[in-house]
C-alpha cells in the first residue's frame, strides 16, 4: 500500500509539472497538433478514407481584425471581462435546462481552448474537471490575446480543417488576413458544429446566423 501511495504521489507530481510545463511552452510556441486532430485522423483511417488535416498556424496579427470579434459575438461575448468562466452564462444555461429548454453549454472561449489543446472531446466529469484546471492555468499564464490566437489556430472549422488560415484558404480562396467581416461572421456561425454546418456552402439557417452575428459584432471590440 505504501508503494502504491508513493506511486500515486509521483504520478500526481508528474501531472502537475508536465501540465504546467506544457502551458508555459504554448505561451510562446505554436500548437502543432491537438488531440482532436489526431482523433479525426484515426477516424478517417478507420473508415478507409484519405487523411485530411489542413492546419496552418498564423499569428493573430496576420488574421482579419474581424475574426476574433466574430467568434466573441458568436461564442463568448464576455470573453474580455471574465477570468475563464462566465458565471452568468452558466446560470442561464442551467435555468434554461431546468425549465425544460434545450441542453446547451456555457463554455467560454478559454474553456474551449483548454479542451482543444490539452484534452479529448468526449464529455465526462473527469474531462470537465481537467478542463477547469487547464482553463485556470491558461488564464493565469496566457494573455487574452494569446488565448484567442491559440483558439483561432486550433479550433475545428470544417471537415479536416483547423484554424482561420486553413478555412480561409479552403473555403474562401484567400488568407486569414483577407477575410471580410461577412466571411468571419459566417465562419463563426458554423462553430457549434463545423462538421454539420459549412461556411463554404451555407444553408439559409447559416445565413440567418451570420446576419445575427454581424449585428452583435457592432457592439464588441478586441
Helix residue spans in the chain (DSSP H): 2-25, 35-46, 66-75, 87-98, 109-118, 125-141, 144-154, 164-167, 181-190, 204-217
- Residue 112 in any domain: the answer is yes
- Specify the pTM: 0.91
Which residues face 179 on adjacent strands? none
Closest CA to 156 of 60, 45, 63, 40: 40
Q: What is the structure's pLDDT at 98?
A: 66
Mean pLDDT by runs of 10 across the 222 residues of the chain is: 83 93 97 96 95 96 97 95 86 67 72 95 90 97 98 96 98 97 97 93 95 94 72
Q: Which three cell numbers stand for residue 189?
A: 456561425
- Residue 22 in any domain: the answer is no
- Residue 15 in any domain: the answer is no
Residue 141: which CATH number?
1.10.3810.10
- Residue 17 in any domain: the answer is no
Q: What is the structure's pLDDT at 33?
A: 96
Q: What is the structure's pLDDT at 91?
A: 73
- Residue 21 in any domain: the answer is no
- Residue 65 in any domain: the answer is yes
Give the domain extent around 180: 34-75+86-217
- Residue 131 in any domain: the answer is yes
- Residue 173 in any domain: the answer is yes
Q: What is the structure's pLDDT at 102?
A: 54
Q: Please give the DSSP secondary-structure letter assigned to residue 172.
A: I
Neighbours of 190 (CB within 10 A): 24
What's the number of domains the chain is made of?
1
Write out the E strands in the chain: 54-55, 156-158, 161-162
> Which positions ≥6 away from 60 have C-beta within 8 Å?
68, 145, 148, 149, 152
C-beta of residue 164 within 8 angstroms of C-beta of residue 150: no
Amino acid at each position: 500500500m505504501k508503494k502504491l501511495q508513493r506511486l500515486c504521489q509521483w504520478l500526481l507530481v508528474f501531472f502537475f509539472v508536465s501540465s504546467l510545463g506544457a502551458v508555459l511552452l504554448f505561451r510562446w510556441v505554436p500548437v502543432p497538433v491537438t488531440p482532436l486532430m489526431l482523433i479525426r485522423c484515426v477516424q478517417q483511417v478507420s473508415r478507409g478514407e484519405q487523411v485530411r488535416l489542413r492546419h496552418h498556424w498564423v499569428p493573430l496579427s496576420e488574421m482579419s481584425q474581424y475574426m476574433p470579434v466574430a467568434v466573441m459575438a458568436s461564442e463568448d461575448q464576455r470573453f474580455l471581462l471574465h477570468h475563464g468562466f462566465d458565471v452568468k452564462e452558466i446560470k442561464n444555461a442551467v435555468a434554461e435546462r431546468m425549465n425544460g429548454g434545450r441542453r446547451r453549454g456555457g463554455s467560454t472561449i478559454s474553456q474551449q481552448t483548454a479542451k482543444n489543446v490539452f484534452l479529448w472531446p468526449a464529455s465526462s466529469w473527469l474531462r470537465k474537471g481537467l478542463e477547469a484546471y487547464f482553463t485556470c492555468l491558461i488564464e493565469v499564464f496566457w494573455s487574452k490575446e494569446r488565448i484567442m490566437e491559440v483558439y483561432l489556430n486550433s479550433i475545428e472549422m470544417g471537415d479536416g480543417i483547423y484554424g482561420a488560415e486553413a478555412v480561409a484558404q479552403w473555403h474562401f480562396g484567400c488568407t486569414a488576413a483577407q477575410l471580410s467581416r461577412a466571411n468571419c461572421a459566417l465562419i463563426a456561425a458554423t462553430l457549434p458544429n463545423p462538421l454539420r454546418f459549412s461556411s463554404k456552402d451555407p444553408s439559409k439557417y447559416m445565413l440567418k446566423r451570420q446576419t445575427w452575428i454581424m449585428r452583435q459584432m457592432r457592439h464588441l471590440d478586441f
